[in-house]
């Protein structure tokens, strides 16, 4: 059995996460038992939710245990099988974690599924046609419930979730406005992803300034907002929300280092009778087949052209992850292992 390089969580961050929170180790891959497969990971997914798991605090999921392989989505290939459900050569997506290989029991529900790479590249099953894409789909379709002609906004617009959200909203006849950091990301949102407009939050020092820019981009106000960031961005959006607007709360990356995120205008929730709903996509597995079918079609037909930032090799994962938290990635952040 092959040697397996792994990254474990060695210690918890005290404020901002740092590279020394992680440790690269090597282990022997155990021999397969009946019903198990050995998967060689081709790509590892890096996602903002992982930062919350590093803390030993109450959240919607258990903290990442110290001394164990970091949690994470993976795509790869079955290289050995003692399972009737998977054959050597099958391309699969699973939760293999920050390591080069994983041994998976075929009876663990949802741990491994075969994917078709004929029209959709393998790496996209960690982004647009994977968990981030389904996250965008659920927030838009089930919480915001857009109507044609409405103005729909998303923060972190060029990331894996935001780019899928834009394509899904355009397919429903909405005006789609992004919020992203830097001129290159905003240009990509409009020119490549088909957003109607994109506001560069880095040009604004406070919520009032950002809100003024949103007013220009959203002359008819905002009907639906998908929240990935929180903080100043949420304050700016609340100032522009229309009556009976809907906000799907997916992430609050501005507060992942433990800093409080005060809300400046909470009275607007009442004044505008807003619906604000947080959600965790793994609690809604019933929608995944429908969502993945639509997302796969959007990618296969070129209506969604996801961009990827790719770090090379397992040792590069911690630095790439910390860069993701600071917005250094462009599109979906991956680590290429093969």
**Domains identified in the chain and CATH numbers:** 3-127+306-336 (3.90.180.10), 131-282 (3.40.50.720)
pLDDT recorded at residue 319: 97
Token pair listed for 233: 């961005």
| Nearest alpha-carbon partner for 74 in 107, 101, 108, 49 | 101
**201, 180 Cβ separation under 8 angstroms:** yes
C-alpha angle with apex 133: 127 to 241, nearest 5 degrees? 130
* Angstrom distance (rounded) from CA 158 to CA 178: 8
Token pair listed for 142: 């089930």
Q: What is the pLDDT along the chain (338 residues), one digit of tens a residue?
A: 789 999 999 999 988 999 999 999 999 999 999 999 999 999 999 998 899 899 887 777 789 999 999 999 999 999 999 999 999 999 999 999 999 999 999 988 778 999 999 989 999 999 999 999 999 999 999 999 999 999 999 999 999 999 999 999 999 999 999 999 999 999 999 999 999 999 999 999 999 999 999 999 999 999 999 999 999 999 999 999 999 999 999 988 887 777 788 899 999 999 999 999 999 998 999 999 999 999 999 999 989 988 999 999 999 999 999 999 988 888 899 999 99
* Angstrom distance (rounded) from CA 221 to CA 59: 33
pLDDT recorded at residue 299: 92
pLDDT recorded at residue 259: 78
pLDDT recorded at residue 252: 87
pLDDT recorded at residue 200: 98
* Angstrom distance (rounded) from CA 63 to CA 23: 17
pLDDT recorded at residue 61: 76
* Angstrom distance (rounded) from CA 86 to CA 154: 38
* Angstrom distance (rounded) from CA 160 to CA 181: 14
Q: What is the DSSP letter of 202?
A: G
- State phi, psi for 124 to the nearest 5 degrees: -65, -20
Which ranges constitute the DSSP H helices of the chain? 49-54, 131-138, 160-171, 183-191, 207-217, 232-238, 267-271, 288-300, 317-325
pLDDT recorded at residue 327: 86
């Amino acid at each position: 059995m092959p040697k397996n390089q792994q990254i474990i969580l060695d210690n918890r961050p005290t404020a901002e996460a740092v590279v020394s929170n992680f440790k690269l180790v090597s282990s022997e891959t155990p021999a397969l038992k009946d019903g198990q497969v050995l998967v060689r990971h081709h790509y590892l997914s890096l996602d903002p939710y992982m930062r919350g798991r590093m803390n030993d605090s109450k959240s919607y999921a258990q903290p990442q245990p110290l001394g164990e392989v970091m949690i994470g989505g993976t795509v790869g290939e079955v290289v050995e099988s003692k399972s009737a459900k998977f054959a050597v050569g099958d391309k699969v997506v699973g939760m293999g974690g920050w390591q080069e290989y994983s041994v998976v029991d075929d009876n663990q529900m949802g741990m491994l599924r075969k994917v078709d790479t004929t029209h959709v590249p393998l790496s996209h099953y960690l982004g647009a046609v994977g968990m981030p894409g389904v996250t965008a789909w659920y927030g838009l379709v089930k919480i915001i419930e857009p109507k044609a002609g409405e103005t729909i906004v998303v923060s972190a617009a060029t990331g894996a979730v935001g780019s899928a959200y834009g394509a899904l909203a355009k397919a429903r006849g909405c005006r789609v406005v992004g919020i992203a950091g830097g001129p290159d990301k905003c240009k990509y949102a409009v020119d490549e992803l088909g957003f109607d407009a994109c506001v560069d939050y880095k040009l604004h020092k406070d919520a009032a300034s950002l809100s003024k820019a949103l007013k220009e981009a959203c002359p008819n106000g905002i009907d639906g907002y998908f929240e990935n960031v929180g903080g100043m961005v949420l304050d700016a959006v609340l100032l522009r929300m229309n009556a009976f607007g809907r906000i799907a709360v997916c992430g609050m990356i501005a507060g992942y280092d433990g800093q409080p995120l005060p809300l400046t205008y909470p009275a607007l929730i009442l004044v505008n009778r807003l619906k604000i709903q947080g959600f965790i996509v793994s609690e809604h597995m019933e929608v995944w087949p429908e969502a993945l079918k639509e997302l796969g079609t959007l990618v296969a037909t070129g209506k969604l052209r996801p961009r990827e930032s790719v770090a090379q090799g397992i040792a590069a994962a911690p630095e790439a992850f910390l860069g993701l938290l600071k917005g250094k990635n462009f599109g979906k952040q991956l680590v290429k292992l093969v």
